[in-house]
Structures are given as C-alpha cells and as structure tokens.
Structure 1
C-alpha cells in the first residue's frame, strides 16, 4: 500500500526577526494586544494571514461591533473602553461608524464600514510603532523545552520563516499557537457540535425610504415564503440592517452544517471548503428572497467576504474557564481585566438563541478574569479572543468583539509586565495590571463607576 505520509527533509528556516512580543492574529484581540504591548515599550510584531486587520469583522464581513455596550439596569452604557475607543474614534473620523442600534430591544450593537475599519486599524498600529507582517500564515512552532516556545513558524510568499519572541500571544481565534505548544484545549461542546458558522453578504441599491425598517417585517415575510413553498431558509433568525449609507445593507440568513446536521468545523480544511461553497449558495438564495421585499427590488450583491464567519473552534484551557452561569449571573472576579456585556448567543441548528442576564434587575455585564488568558503548561504564552479559556456556553457570549478588545488589551499589557519583571505571565502582579489598565482608560468593573454614554 502507498505510504500515508511524506517525510520532509530537515531544513534551516530563515529568521524573520526577534521580538519581545509576537501576536498571532489581527482581529480585535490581536489589534489590542499588539498596541498595548508596543505602547508599554516592547518591540512587538503582529502577524496576520490576510493583507488587512479586523479578523472576522472584516475577513468574514461581520461589519458590526457586538459587546461594546451593556444594558446596565435598563440603561445602555458603553463598557468597553481603552484601545477600543482609540480604534472607534479613528473609524468615526473616516465617517465609517454608525450610531449604535438596538438588538432585540435589549442590547446595542454598532455597525461600521469595513474599509474604514481596515484603514483605521493600520493607522492605530502605525501610531504605536507596531511591526506588522501580513500574508503570513502560522504554520507551527519550535519549543525551547516542554514549557517554553522558542519560535513560531509562518508560511509566506518568501517561503517558511521563523519569528522568535520572549512572549507569544495567541489571538488566532482557533487557538492554533496554543495547540501546537501542547496547551490543553476543548472543541465546541465536547460532543461534536460547535456554534454554527455563517456567510455574510452586503447588498447595495436599496431604496431606503421604501425599505423603511424592513428588519421588523422580514421575519413574517420569511414565514409566508416558506409556507408558500417559494423559499427555504437554513435558520429562523435573520440579520438585515442598513449600513452607514441607507442604500447598503448587511445580510445574514445563512447557517453552515455538515451532512449529519452538525456545525461545519473551522479547523477542518475539507469542511471549510464545503462550507465556503455552500455559504455562497445560501447567500444567493437569501438575495433572491430579498429581491421580493419592498425597497430591495433593484438591489444587488456588492460583497461576499473573503471567508466564512467562524464563531467557535478550539477553546484553550486556562486557569479559569468563563461559564454561561458567569455571563447570566454577571460574575465578579478579583482578577478582572475587563468586562463583557453581550448575552449568550447560541447558534444552534436552525436558529439563534439569546439568553440575557435579568433586565433591568442586573447590571448587565460580567467581569473577565485574567486567569482565562493564561494557558496551563506553557510559560511564555497568553491567549485572547474567542480561543481564550471559556466553556462552550460562556464562549457564546464573550467571543464577540467587545470582550475580545478587552482581553487583547490586558494580554498585551500583561506580556509587557512579565518582561519588565523578568517573570512569566502566570506570575505577574495582577493588581499592577489592573491599575495600569484603569490608568489607560480601560473599564475593568470592580470598584470603578460604569462609564457614561454610548
């Protein structure tokens, strides 16, 4: 029988550079981590597989910040501040930021223009002198010993290259770096199911006066179309909302499943291939239905994003795993480094199920413990973003961009503190980290007053 493997000859890998902090992944967590580390005076490299930043927010066309706000005793407040505020201000100066809009009558989200996000993120990193390496896909690591990463391997158009760093921060979304380093992780609900991915799309050519608040009427039109047998939809809950210009709307009717009905896996290349193709097919079907909605008759697809929108893959096990109970109970933690105001958002088969803390009785946000950023068994590694230490239920809430900004800023600053104290991230003085975060404008909960305004 033919061999099932190929032996690659040993080779010397060119060293791209040596840094104090290397961040893998340029989504909200990676942007904030790199800026925080560089602002603290550490030579920092941000590595991104695409030619732009923003993560799922740009590469998957999400076009919507979730989790920046919380419903605090019935009043909306923006609870994610710090570096996120610097980025939003830059997007706003480019006229690319919408006013926050209400979701389900209970929580705010904030739409943005993806081009403005990309440009603003470039500007933010340049202002803080972060080195950036685009078009570089993480491909593996070399360990110094059982507990310490020596170098990260990346594949580029120049071939395979190596990056050395004192501390690495995994903001890959999929926990790639942590998994390669041998850190323990979980996948989905540990029973073969993950939050379902989606394919976003954007439409142009809408008549805003005629469309009105179409997002209120579309669910009934969907039910009518299914009853008539003219259209079928992969999930009940649809997103159809205007962008900054009323002639452009973002759309998500899609849900990507395997043949057995479980979610497409974002860490299986064969499944991802199937998901991309099926996602575009579903997007076209959604578009064909929307052309029957008043105001959308002359609309056209202006953008299908570079990739499928992935919500959950690996979740790295750290010193604490944020749970669904923590989210619904608005949990407090002595080692809080930020907050999450987004509810549980469970993308289950055929639907999206939201679970909120009690409103208006509760303060509407949970704190995020530093321990969820520190993996077990690897000493010079932190993680931030949707691959941080959370249960399947907890991750359904704190995976969104607001919490990712908060986690990333804390991870970058923690890396700088560890380097300055000649220690490992697990052993830094968390009180010092909290003090510095607050001094730099972050809201971490604890004894701070809740920020005013939106």
Structure 2
C-alpha cells in the first residue's frame, strides 16, 4: 500500500529585490491608507502592498459601503471624533459626488457615512499618489526574512513571481495579521473556541421603485418586520440566515445596499477567513444566500419587484480572524467604560457589535453622553519583533474589544498613528517610541486626542 505524501519540499531559491524603502505597509484598507499617507507625509519612502487592484479593504472589496465609528456622542452631542487623514479622504470622495450625509441609527446611538465604492477607489488612488506613496497591487504577503528581532525583508507573491522588499519599518494592516503571523508574533483567532464574528457577503440592489421602498422600509431599515411576517405567512418558504438584517438606500434611493447574509462553516461556527478551504466554501454560501434573499425581496417587500442585483462584493466580508498579542489588549470594559489612556493615539466611537450565531448583539458604553473610548499606542506594538506595527482589525484586542474597534473609524486612527511613528523609526524599536512626541505630531496633523 502506497502512503500518500502530505508535504513536499520546495527547493531554495534566490529572490529578486523589488525595492528598498523606509516603510512598507501591507493592506490597503482604512488602516493601510492612513498608515501609508501619514508615513509618506512625514518624509518616509513608503510602499503600500495590496492584494487587489484597488484600495479600500472591506469597504470596497467587501462591499461594506459605509464608514462606521467616525461619529460618537461627546458631552451628549453626536460629533465627528475621528479626524486626520480620513478628512482628506472624505473630501476627495465627496468631490466625486460619492459621499452621503451622516445617517443616524439605533435610536440616535450610532451614526455612519455611506459612500459610493467607485468614488472611494478613485479618491484613495488620488490621496496616496498626492502623498508620494508607491503602490504595488496584486501582491500577497508570503513570508518574512528575519535579522534577529527585526524583519529584514517582506516576501511577496506577484504576477512577476516571488520577490523581496526591504525596509526599516513594516506595518501589518492586512486585516488578518498575515505579516505578524509569518514573523512569529503570538496571535489568537476568533473567539478562541473555534468560532468568532460571523462574516457577511454584501450586495447592492438597483432599479428599485424608490418611493415605494422608502415608504415601506425607511431610511434605516425596517426590513426585519417584513422577514418575520413572511416566515409566519409562508411557513418553510423562507429561511433567513440571521435576525437584524440591514437594508439601506444609497445616495440615489433607486439603489440599496444589503447586509443580510451570515456565513457558517460545516460545523455551524463562523467561517474561518484564514482557512483556504473554508474561505472558498464561504464564497459559494454567501452567493447562495444572496440569491435566496433577493427572491424574498422581490416577492414580499414593496418597491423591490422591479429591482435587480447590480453588484455582489468581490469577496465575503470578514470581520475577525487573527488578533495579535501586543503590549496591551483593548477589551470589553475599555469599550463599555469609555476608557482613557495616557498613550492615546485617537478615539473609537463604535459600540460592541457582536455578530453571533443568527443575530447581532449590541453593547453600548454606559456613559451615553460620552460614548467613545481612547485607543492606546500599546495595542499596535507586538510582544515580539522590533520594527513591526499591527494596525486595524488585527491589532491587539480581545474578541469583544475587537467587535468595536474593528470598525473603519478605529482603523483610520490606528493606521495614522502607525504610519506617523514608522516614518521616523530608523534602526530603533517601536516599543521604545516616545509617545509624547508621537502625540504632538498627531495633534498637528488634525487627530482628535480628546484634549
């Protein structure tokens, strides 16, 4: 009987060097955009590595279509609390007529800014180009090469083959902590019990009868009542993947965005976004759920009978995979208790949003008049590796803390701080950064540090 080999040995090879930089950022979502722009503006030769051919992260590739966590209540007034690079990005999106006015929800406890994804892509290109950032699209992080406690080079897979990129400092804004994992940084995945925040495949619906749909569903989605009625009136006909579905109009109310799916693995737990087999199966499952949900919309919801699906997001929307273990882990009580930190780098204004099995569980800060918390510098700094920072949803947080700070507002904050610090690292250690000096730079660049 022949035993099948389960591993193969790849021969050693020499890698061409793509280039030498001061700062290399991996991932072009909100954290990566803010990091790359900030590093370049502070004089660093900066490269941003992105797996797709466009920027925006889950906001474009995942079809999220809104910035969450930019606005929160301070002294009882809903106000924009996340400032800095994001202001320039919003202005550029608005220049393409692609930015909606703020939309309040949950009884006025949350506020989002929705946008057109194509306008976002164009605006992000212009923002990074104006800052002097070099971009390498269609490239995956594949490995790192070490020099003691430092990363000497990042290895990437490209259409030109496997290449190495050298830099003084690296920022992992991949969302999945890919670079940190390759570098041996300790991390956790999901909730630690084989599940996590459930993913969603987003889609957009066009050709809607806007007056009828708006009267029936409203600006901030009363779709769940229609779902409950359909289940009662047609037992067994519809099977919805979750409660708390969200259906909202875009700037043009003839087009709506749908956040209604929930992706499980074969065991019924949250799909693991860093497992290749589960990710592939999840893409199929997301589109299956979209097809079923769209039939419900056309049959049961006023205004949607003449509609058509105009876009399915390029990939399933991932909320949580790896989270590194850093010098501090942002946790549940930090969100609910509106924590303040001496080493603050900016603010998080989003509550805990736990996408659990079949439902969404919200938990808001106890101080409703001041419903935000500081984000500490230490959550970006890994316990190992001297010249690496991790920004965005894969930074150092607990499962519950991450459910809040993973929103785009917190990611912009983390990215701007990471890029600003990385620009002047040289041969130093991120654990030894002078936080007071960093804070002065962030304040000068328009970041709100709650002073």
Shorter-chain TM-score range: over 0.9
Which of 277, 290, 297 is the equivalent residue of 1:290?
Answer: 297
Q: Deviations over 1:139-174 (max 9, x none)?
A: 1111112x1111111111111111111000000000
TM-score by length of 2: 0.97
Aligned to 1:25: 27
Task: State the shift of 1:340 in Å.
Answer: 0.2
Which residue, out of 351, 356, 366, partners 1:348? Answer: 356
Alignment of 1:50-449 (within 5 A): 50-105=52-107, 106-145=109-148, 147-213=149-215, 214-215=217-218, 216-227=221-232, 228-229=234-235, 230-291=237-298, 292-358=300-366, 360=368, 362-419=369-426, 422-445=427-450, 448=451
For 1:73 and 1:324, locate their aligned partners in 2 and report how far apart those are by CA, in whole Å: 22
Provide the secondary structure at the position in 2 that maps to 1:337.
Answer: strand
What is the distance in 2 between the residues matched to 1:314 and 1:263? Answer: 13
1:22-47, CA deviations, whole angstroms, 9 ceiling, x for partnerless residues?
Answer: 00000000000000000000000000
Residues in 2 aligned to 1:392 and 1:138: alpha-carbon distance in whole angstroms: 24
User: Counterparts of 1:211 and 1:179 in 2: how far apart (Å)?
Assistant: 46
- Provide the rounded CA distance (Å) in 1 between the counterparts of 2:181 and 2:294: 38
Q: CA deviation at 1:359?
A: 5.2
Cα distance in structure 2, aligned partners of 1:319 and 1:444: 20
Question: Would you say the 8 A contact 1:71–1:359 is kept in 2?
Answer: no
Q: Aligned equivalents of 2:238 and 2:438: distance in 1?
A: 53
Distance in structure 2 (CA, Å) of the matches to 1:71 and 1:334: 21
CA deviations 1:422-454 (Å, max 9, x no partner) are: 421111110000011001101122xx2xxxxxx
Partners of 2:311 and 2:111 lie apart in 1 by: 25
Supply the distance in 1 between the matched residues of 2:328 and 2:43 (Cα, whole angstroms).
Answer: 29
Give the 4+ runs in structure 1 shifted more than 3 A.
none
SS in structure 2 at match of 1:318: coil
Secondary structure of the residue aligned to 1:199 is coil
Instruction: Quote the Cα distance in structure 2 between the aligned partners of 1:259 and 1:8.
Output: 32
Equivalent-residue separation in structure 1 for 2:437 and 2:424 (angstroms) = 9
Task: Compute the displacement of 1:4 (Å).
Answer: 1.3
Match of 1:47 among 35, 42, 49: 49
Return the offset for 1:177: 0.4
SS in 2 for 1:418: coil
Alignment: residue pair count: 442
Unaligned runs of 5+ in 1: 449-454
Q: What's the offset of the Cα at 1:217?
A: 3.5
TM-score normalised by length of structure 1: 0.96
Instruction: Give, in whole Å, the separation in 1 of the partners of 2:353 and 2:56.
Output: 21
Kindly indicate whether the alpha-carbon contact (under 8 Å) linking 1:345 and 1:352 is maintained by their aligned counterparts in 2: yes
Looking at structure 2, the residues matched to 28 and 181 of structure 1 have their Cα atoms a distance apart, in angstroms, of 23
Moved more, 292-301 or 66-75: 66-75
Asked if the contact 2:172/2:391 (under 8 Å) is kept, the reply is yes
Once residues 84 and 125 of structure 2 are traced to their aligned partners in structure 1, the CA distance between those partners, rounded to angstroms, is 17
The answer for the alignment partner of 1:452 in structure 2 is: none
Deviation at residue 54 of structure 1 after TM alignment: 0.2
Do 2:337 and 2:367's aligned partners in 1 also have CA atoms closer than 8 Å? no
| Contiguous gaps of at least 5 residues in structure 2 | none
1:34 has 2:36 as partner: yes
> Secondary structure of 1:417's match?
coil
Q: Which SS does the other structure have where 1:298 is aligned? A: coil
